């Protein structure tokens, strides 16, 4: 073969390789165009009509009230349905898939992670693309989801509960029990990453630092008695102001915040004065205390479904059932006051995973939308589960693990977390209580997980 012909063949071959590489450049982000939709952007009540949203990679590149010219993009035709941001839940325990005593003390190694992975995927398929985990060993699951190994929502983890002895995080069921301070025996709740029992300023500082070392986005404090606790009556106020302030100070040093599980009015006031940025439950708070919450710009993070459902559904018995009824009796007043005073109200469920079998109760997560509809409009609820929750998550500041784009909104530069609802949830919020039927399209981080449109 003549040398000139060889050079020509080589040149053609190189050009062909170059053209294939250019057409399939792995560094070039893929584009998806969602068109013919009404857009609820997470902030404004008025939807954008006949809109288009262009996704590039894992972020939203453009939002338009008209057609977007995007040659080469994959096209999703919404057929005039409603496009909303991915839903968020501000209070989950994604690892709490069964009875807590079983998970900590008797479940075999590996069981917890396996069930939690199923729980995570089901949450995503209900439309929840980001959650704030309020206590438990979720760091490993978060890593697996972030790496694309298992499907699930983004997780802002709290790590182990920080609890006093005999507090809500003290799950050791034995009444005759000596703590590690006196005997050296280690509680499985500590070994498995569920809770750290800490008493006194020095110990709570160390417990907080340990959680932050592991990668906690925020710190969860147990500040009062609980319904499911092994040893603490519901009316008990836990932790002193000095202990609470020590925890908050450590979170501030790390550029994040602390939230507190608390029912009692005294405990809530102690926590507010110590500087927490969110209060979980808060059912026994007085009007005076809720006004202080408003003044300090602290989130009211309670759960409507959990405290309005028929107690028989929960599967609780004995002392736990009696404590639940006590909390339920105060819920309506707390909810009405929080709304009347204009507190920032997050959307969260605190639904755990047991009734007859693991994850039974978790499936009720979407029913929170209906429970809130007795107090709020569809728009108010949609804002709570999107942009308002995102505002709460932003209080993690430097410890927020997802800072490439915004969460909870549909705007340029935000994460491409998009749902298409068959109907208008602003007018009929109950649509979101039936995700299998109403959610026809689910995208998280630019990846499509469900598409029933084509």
Q: How far apart are CA 112 and CA 100, in angstroms?
A: 11
Percent of the chain at pLDDT exceeding 90: 71
Give the domain CATH number at 292.
Answer: 3.20.20.140
| Radius of gyration of the chain from its Cα atoms, rounded to whole angstroms | 24
Residue 361 reports pLDDT greater than 80: no
User: Is the distance from CB of 296 to CB of 276 less than 8 angstroms?
Assistant: no
Backbone angles phi, psi at 38, to 5 degrees: -95, 125
Residue range 262-271: average pLDDT? 96
50-108 residue pLDDT tens? 999 999 999 999 999 988 999 999 999 999 999 999 999 999 999 988 778 888 888 88
Phi, psi of 92 (to 5 degrees): -120, 160
pLDDT of residue 27 exceeding 90, the answer is no
* CA–CA dist 368, 384 (Å, integer): 12
* Mean pLDDT of all residues belonging to the chain: 90
Are 178 and 155 found together in one domain?
Answer: yes
Is 121 contained in some domain?
yes
Tell me, yes or no, whether 47 and 113 share the same domain: no
The whole-number pLDDT of residue 48 equals 97
- Strand 154-156 versus strand 48-56 pairing type: unpaired
Question: Domain span at residue 45?
Answer: 28-86+412-451
Angle between helices 241-253 and 201-214 (to 10 degrees): 30
More confident site: 55 or 177: 55
The rounded distance, in Å, linking the Cα atoms of 199 and 334 is: 30
Q: How many domains does the chain have?
A: 2
Are residues 86 and 79 in contact, defined by beta-carbon separation less than 8 angstroms?
no
Query: What gap in Å lies between CA 369 and CA 376, rounded to an integer?
Result: 10
Quick check: is 16 in a domain? no
Mean pLDDT of 275-300: 97
pLDDT over 60 (residue 2): no
Q: Residue 309's pLDDT is what?
A: 77
Q: Is residue 5 included in any domain, yes or no?
A: no
- Residue 108 shares a structural domain with residue 44: no
Residue 186 has pLDDT above 50, yes or no: yes
How far from each other are the two terminal CA atoms of the chain, in whole angstroms? Answer: 53
Is the same domain home to 81 and 147? no
What does the pLDDT look like over 375-403, one tens digit per residue?
A: 999 999 999 999 999 999 999 999 999 99
Same domain? 290 vs 159: yes
Look at strands 447-451 and 219-222 and give their pairing: unpaired
Judged by average pLDDT, the poorest of 9-18, 39-48, 289-298, 431-440 is: 9-18
pLDDT at 435 over 80: yes
**CATH number assigned to the domain comprising residue 33:** 2.30.40.10
303-314 residues labelled b (16+ CB within 10 A) or e (exposed): bbbbbbbeeeeb
Assess if residue 18 is contained within a domain.
no
389 and 427 part of one domain: no
Kindly tell me if the per-residue pLDDT of 19 is higher than 70: no
Quick one: pLDDT band at residue 314, thresholds 50, 70, 90? low
Instruction: Say if 108 falls within a structural domain.
Output: yes
Same domain, 100 and 172: yes
Top mean pLDDT of 2-11, 232-241, 243-252 is at 243-252
- Interhelix angle 265-274/241-253, nearest 10 degrees: 40
- DSSP assignment of 154-219 equals EEE---SEEE-TTSTT-----SS---HHHH-PPPHHHHTTSEEE--SHHHHHHHHHHHHHHT-SSE
d(CA 93, CA 159) in angstroms, rounded, equals 10
Q: Residue 5 pLDDT > 60, yes or no?
A: no
Find the range with the poorest average confidence among 162-166, 228-232, 366-370: 228-232
For residue 404, tell me if it sits in a domain.
Answer: no
My answer on whether 98 and 198 are in the same domain is yes
Residues comprising the chain, all counted: 454
Q: Are 104 and 192 in contact (CB under 8 A)?
A: yes
- Pair 91, 75 in one domain: no
Rounded CA-CA distance 322/329 in Å is 11
- pLDDT above 70 for 182: no
Same domain, 158 and 211: yes
Same domain, 128 and 34: no
- pTM (predicted TM-score): 0.91
Look at residue 117 and tell me if it is in a domain. yes
Mean pLDDT, to the nearest integer, of 265-275? 97
pLDDT at 178 over 90: no
Query: Does residue 220 register a pLDDT over 70?
Result: yes
Whether residue 78 is found in the same domain as residue 138: no
In a domain, 13, yes or no: no
Alpha-carbon distances of 288 from 156, 269, 293, 333, 337, rounded to whole Å:
31, 10, 9, 13, 10
pLDDT at 312: 72
Rounded to whole angstroms, how far apart are CA atoms 382 and 45? 9
For residue range 150-169, list pLDDT tens digits in order: 999 999 999 999 999 888 88
Lowest mean pLDDT among 45-49, 158-162, 227-231: 227-231
DSSP symbol at 82 = E
Q: What kind and span of H or E run contains 279? A: strand 278-281
């Amino acid at each position: 073969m003549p040398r000139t012909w060889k050079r020509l063949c080589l040149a053609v071959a190189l050009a062909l390789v170059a053209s294939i590489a250019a057409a399939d450049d792995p560094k070039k982000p893929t584009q998806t165009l969602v068109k013919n939709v009404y857009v609820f952007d997470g902030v404004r009540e008025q939807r954008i009509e006949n809109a288009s949203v262009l996704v590039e990679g894992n972020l939203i590149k453009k939002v338009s009230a008209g057609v977007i010219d995007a040659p080469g993009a994959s096209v999703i035709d919404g057929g005039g349905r409603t496009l909303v941001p991915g839903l968020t839940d501000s209070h989950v325990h994604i690892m709490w898939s069964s009875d807590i005593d079983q998970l900590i003390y008797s479940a075999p190694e590996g069981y917890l992670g396996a069930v939690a992975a199923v729980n995570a995927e089901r949450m995503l398929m209900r439309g929840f693309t980001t959650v704030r985990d309020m206590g438990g060993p979720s760091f490993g699951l978060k890593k697996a989801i972030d790496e694309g190994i298992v499907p699930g929502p983004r997780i802002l983890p709290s790590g182990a509960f920080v609890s006093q002895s005999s507090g809500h995080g003290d799950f050791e069921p034995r009444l005759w029990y000596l703590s590690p301070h006196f005997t050296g025996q280690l509680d499985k709740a500590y070994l498995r990453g569920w809770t750290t029992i800490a008493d006194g300023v020095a110990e709570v500082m160390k417990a907080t630092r340990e959680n932050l070392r592991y990668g906690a986005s925020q710190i969860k404090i147990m500040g009062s008695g609980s319904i499911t606790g092994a040893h603490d009556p519901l009316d008990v106020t836990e932790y002193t102001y000095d202990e609470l302030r020590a925890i908050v100070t450590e979170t501030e040093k790390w550029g994040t915040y602390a939230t507190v599980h608390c029912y009692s009015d005294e405990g809530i006031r102690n926590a507010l004065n110590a500087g927490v940025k969110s209060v979980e439950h808060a059912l026994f708070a007085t009007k005076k205390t809720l006004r202080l919450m408003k003044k300090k710009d602290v989130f009211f993070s309670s759960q409507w479904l959990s405290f309005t459902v028929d107690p028989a559904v929960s599967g609780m018995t004995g002392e736990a059932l009696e404590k639940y009824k006590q909390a339920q009796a105060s819920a309506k007043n707390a909810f009405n006051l929080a709304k009347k005073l204009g507190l920032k109200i997050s959307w969260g469920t605190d639904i755990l995973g047991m009734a007859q079998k693991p994850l039974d109760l978790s499936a009720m997560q979407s029913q929170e939308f209906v429970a809130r509809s007795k107090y709020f409009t569809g728009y108010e609820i949609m804002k709570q589960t999107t942009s308002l929750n995102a505002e709460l998550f932003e209080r993690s500041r430097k410890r927020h693990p997802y800072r490439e784009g915004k969460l909870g909104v549909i705007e340029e530069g935000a994460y491409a977390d998009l749902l298409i609802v068959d109907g208008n949830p602003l007018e009929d919020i109950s649509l979101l209580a039936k995700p299998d039927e109403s959610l026809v399209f689910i995208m998280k981080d630019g990846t499509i997980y469900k598409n029933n449109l084509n």
